[in-house]
Amino acid sequence: MAPKDPLQETFIEGSGNTYLSLQDSVGNLTLDQKRHNRFAWWFPFVLAFGMLQVMMLALTMLVFVGTGIWGINNPVGWGFAIINFVWWIGIGHAGTLISAILLLFRQQWRNSINRFAEAMTIFAVMCAGMFPLLHTGRPWVAYWLMPIGPNNLGMWPQFRSPLVWDVFAVTTYLTVSALFWFIGMIPDFATLRDKAKTFVPRFAFGMLSMGWRGASRHWHRYEQAYLILAGLSTPLVLSVHSIVSLDFAVSIMPGWHATIFPPYFVAGAVYAGFAMVLTLAIPVRKWYSLEHIITLKHIEWMAKIMLATGLFVFYGYICEAFFAFYSGNPFEKAMMINRMSGPYWWSYAALIFCNGLAPQILWSKKIRQNLPVLMVVCFIVSIGMWLERFVIVATTLHRDFLPSSWGMYFGTIWDWGLYLGTMGLFTFLMWLFLRFLPIINIFEVKELFYKMTGRHGAPKPAAAVAGAPEKVTADE
């Protein structure tokens, strides 16, 4: 009996897998629409659609009445809009990390989850981009932020404004991520085109596949384009949230004016992003019977990355407190004392618990492979990362340098409605993606299966797995 390949248990489970079975596991989810007519798809979709209508109502009120419907006031001029913007941008970071950075490092375990994470990135950035434009109060003149030039506008954008930085960072991130996502799906579109039995999907996927025939020239250009976009996306992971953090760090407010913010925000973004990937991947793999492709090993590795980035974030909290008390700056010290014991002490305490203490149970392998407990931890981390942004914004602004201008900030029903509505938009788009597009990279999973099993489906010998040259027969 041939020795069992250790990689097979890692990446693809089950002994009866073939190229066709792996292709059908993903392709039939898109082409066989009857498989979606069940509670597992319709209930989240209908719930998300209802939340989307709440967002539309909140947007209508905002456009007709103005930002006065929000809870922003003097001195808290930044509220839920900026909090939600930073939160959504952070959620989108895991997709680019999984897709681009792990690709450059040749980490093959990404193949089962990268498509899912890339889609999550696109939709999260779409949700995030709304808030800075709405926060200006005049989203219909948002094109003023673009460098169209003095010939058309009679003015240039203020390039020293953090708002302009956000526009350039977010639009670049969205453009590169969308191109990376679409190009990665072209071979799979061709597979679904050839597999489709009716006219509509054959025509739709034929248009999307852009004439792909699987020729060596096509594969060569695909590999070049995919690698170039991965190289462009990698610095974006670091730059986008660094630029977002500079919105705070360039100010003189205590608690914001800190050089630790860029790496601290990037680590927090990856932390929140992986928590959201796990929150969505765990139920989806169960509902669509994809346990043999998205294995427990994938789940465990994502949990490990979440634990590592969580430790970075927790270290940032410790550094913030240390700098405040060690620096001797009375304003920094007062800010930290206010966070810990002021009117918003509950948010800081919940933040430390959600992001610092609760994830420490992930040190246990049993917990990392216990899916219900892991889901609860991911929910807690998502709540904690939102609370982190609330603490940074609200507790810093509500008590600034002048006690005469101190005040309190609370989100109104329209703040919460817009926030919950963007959750509905995100879930609505994700569930449409689950229904109409391949949610797992078909050709990369098949390529991985080939590397593990050899050309005829028999397990490779241990020497070949370890990297020794293999003999190719004339039949092969």
Residue 158 pLDDT grade (very low, low, confident, very high; cuts 50, 70, 90)? confident
Q: What is the pLDDT of residue 19?
A: 62
pLDDT at 237 over 90: no
Residue 2 above 60 pLDDT?
Answer: no
Angle among Cα 31, 108, 264 to the nearest 5 degrees reads 105
Residue 8 has pLDDT above 50, yes or no: no
% of the chain residues with pLDDT over 90? 30
pLDDT at 59: 92
Query: Which residues are CB-neighbours of 280 under 8 A, at least 6 positions away?
Result: 116, 120, 430
Greater pLDDT, 256 or 98:
256
Average pLDDT over residues 33-38: 59
Residue 218: exposed, middle, or buried by beta-carbon count in 10 A (0-12, 13-18, 19+)? Answer: middle
CA distance 439 to 458: 27
Q: Are 419 and 54 in contact (CB under 8 A)?
A: no
Domains and CATH numbers, the chain: 34-148+162-456 (1.20.1630.10)
Q: Is pLDDT of 164 > 70?
A: yes
* Cα distances (Å, whole numbers) of residue 110 to 3, 275, 350, 441: 25, 16, 32, 10
Indicate the pLDDT class of residue 468, thresholds 50, 70 and 90: very low
CA dihedral (365, 368, 373, 378) positive or negative: positive
Which tens digits make up the pLDDT trace of 87-118?
999 888 878 878 888 888 777 777 778 888 88
Residue 363 burial (CB count, 10 A): 10
Euclidean distance between CA atoms 280 and 424, whole angstroms:
14
Alpha carbon 90 to its chain's center: 7
Confidence band of 139 (pLDDT split at 50, 70, 90): confident
> Does residue 413 or residue 259 have the better pLDDT?
413
Percent of the chain with pLDDT over 70: 87
Please state the rounded mean pLDDT for residues 25-53.
78
Q: How far apart are the first and last CA of the chain?
A: 22
* Position with higher pLDDT, 382 vs 153: 382
User: What is the chain's length?
Assistant: 476
The pLDDT of residue 18 = 62
245 neighbors 381 (Cβ within 8 angstroms): no
Rg of the chain over all Cα atoms, to the nearest angstrom: 24
Query: What pLDDT score was predicted for residue 474?
Result: 31
pLDDT digits (tens, 9 = 90+) for 371-428: 999 999 999 999 999 999 999 999 989 988 888 888 899 989 999 999 999 999 999 9
- Using the predicted structure, report yes or no on whether residue 308 has a pLDDT greater than 70: yes
Q: Compute the distance between CA of residue 255 and CA of residue 321 in angstroms, rounded to an integer.
A: 10
| 338: its two tokens | 């206010």
Q: Does residue 467 carry a pLDDT above 60?
A: no
- Mention every residue, 6+ apart, whose C-beta is less than 8 A from residue 120: 91, 92, 94, 95, 273, 276, 277, 280, 430
Cα 167–chain centre separation: 18
Q: Residues 4, 298, 99, CA angle at the centre, nearest 5°? A: 120
pLDDT in tens, 47-95: 999 999 999 999 999 999 988 899 888 888 888 999 999 999 988 887 8
- Is the C-alpha dihedral spanning 184, 189, 190, 195 positive or negative? positive
Output the CA torsion 337→341→346→352 (10° steps): 40
Rounded distance between C-alpha atoms, residue 145 and residue 163, angstroms: 8
Distance CA 193, CA 196 (A): 5
Report which DSSP code applies to 421: H
CA distance 185 to 433: 12
Does the pLDDT value for residue 34 go beyond 70? no
DSSP 255: T
pTM of the model: 0.86
Residue listed under structure tokens 């430390």:
352
- pLDDT, the chain, mean: 83
Could you give the 3-state DSSP secondary structure of residue 230? helix
54: its two tokens: 């709440």
For the ranges 149-163, 271-285, 344-358, 380-394, the lowest mean pLDDT is seen at 149-163
Calculate the alpha carbon distances from 232 to 88, 118, 152, 236 in Å: 21, 15, 31, 7
Task: Please name the residue that has the structure tokens 């009375």.
Answer: 330
More confident residue, 4 or 98: 98
Pairwise CA distance, residues 117 & 274, whole Å: 9
Top mean-pLDDT range of 7-16, 21-30, 461-470:
21-30
Tell me the pLDDT tens digit for each residue of 338-380: 999 989 999 999 999 999 999 999 999 999 989 999 999 999 9
Q: Residue 236's pLDDT is what?
A: 84
> What are the contacts of 401-406 at 24+ separation with CB within 8 A?
401/331, 405/74, 405/75, 406/75
Cβ atoms of 344 and 397 closer than 8 Å? no
Q: So what's the pLDDT on residue 11? A: 57
The region of weakest confidence among 90-94, 302-306, 329-333 is: 90-94
